[in-house]
Chains A and B, each alone.
Chain A
Amino acid sequence: GQSLEQPSEVTAVEGAIVQINCTYQTSGFYGLSWYQQHDGGAPTFLSYNALDGLEETGRFSSFLSRSDSYGYLLLQELQMKDSASYFCAVNSASGGSYIPTFGRGTSLIVHP
């Protein structure tokens, strides 16, 4: 089966840089996605990596190492509104279907 590990909570101060790690075990790996979820809201897509390396989207970057089954989400110039839960999700291909498996989420708390 699939499994993902990510820290349950990370705290940081406004303006800082924070990295949220995600390690995974899966078969049929297709890509690693990151989602943000504010309290009471729906998850929203942040970033996706199918190949090794760094993907940058504004203040957010995501990294993947397929050989290490490891990825991370990097948030720069933290703002109070970045306080939310962040989920990594492995997309796996099985029999022509694309099955996502989510980690348990990392709660990011940004302090002033």
Chain B
Amino acid sequence: NAGVTQTPKFRVLKTGQSMTLLCAQDMNHEYMYWYRQDPGMGLRLIHYSVGEGTTAKGEVPDGYNVSRLKKQNFLLGLESAAPSQTSVYFCASMKGHQETQYFGPGTRLLVL
């Protein structure tokens, strides 16, 4: 099992450009999450999904959109990137009522 994978690992964008971050998990988990991590801020929840076809907003959803068309994939989109979205993005998955989140390796995004 690959666990949770994220692509790309690193990306540089110019202000106003768009991009999609892909998260994939092969553990048949129901829950998937997108976080951003900034220095001194811990992990902040952007959006999450409790199952295929469902999404919901987290703590910091502005400027991001998500889709969960397939159970194993959770996409995070930036329609018009801003320098404030420079961050490390982590995806995680969790199986239903269990307590353990499994994290992907992260995507480092720099917006110039």
Which residues in A have some Cβ–Cβ distance to B below 8 Å?
8, 31, 33, 35, 41-45, 48, 50, 87, 89, 91, 96-105
Chain A residues, Cβ within 8 Å of B59: 101
Chain B residues, Cβ within 8 Å of A105: 42
User: How far, in angstroms, from A44 to B59 measured CA to CA in the complex?
Assistant: 21
Q: Does B69 contact A (CB under 8 A)?
A: no
User: How far, in angstroms, from A76 to B104 measured CA to CA in the complex?
Assistant: 28
Distance between B86 CB and nearest chain A CB, rounded to angstroms: 16
Q: Does B31 contact A (CB under 8 A)?
A: yes
User: How far, in angstroms, from A99 to B43 measured CA to CA in the complex?
Assistant: 13
Instruction: Among A35, A89, A96, point to the contact of B50 (Cβ < 8 A).
Output: A96
- Pairs across A and B, CB under 8 Å, 25 listed: A8-B40, A33-B101, A35-B101, A41-B106, A42-B90, A42-B103, A43-B90, A43-B103, A45-B101, A45-B102, A48-B100, A87-B43, A89-B43, A91-B99, A96-B50, A98-B31, A98-B50, A98-B97, A99-B45, A100-B101, A102-B35, A102-B43, A102-B44, A104-B40, A105-B42
Chain B residues, Cβ within 8 Å of A45: 100-102
Q: Judging by beta carbons under 8 Å apart, are B94 and A98 in contact?
A: yes
Q: Judging by beta carbons under 8 Å apart, are A100 and B97 in contact?
A: no
Closest A residue to B50 by CB, please name it: A97
User: How far, in angstroms, from A107 to B29 measured CA to CA in the complex?
Assistant: 30
User: How far, in angstroms, from A98 to B90 measured CA to CA in the complex?
Assistant: 18
* Chain B 33-82 interface residues, beta-carbon cutoff 8 Å to A: 33, 35, 40-45, 48, 50, 56, 58-59
Q: Judging by beta carbons under 8 Å apart, are A102 and B42 in contact?
A: yes
Chain A residues, Cβ within 8 Å of B56: 97
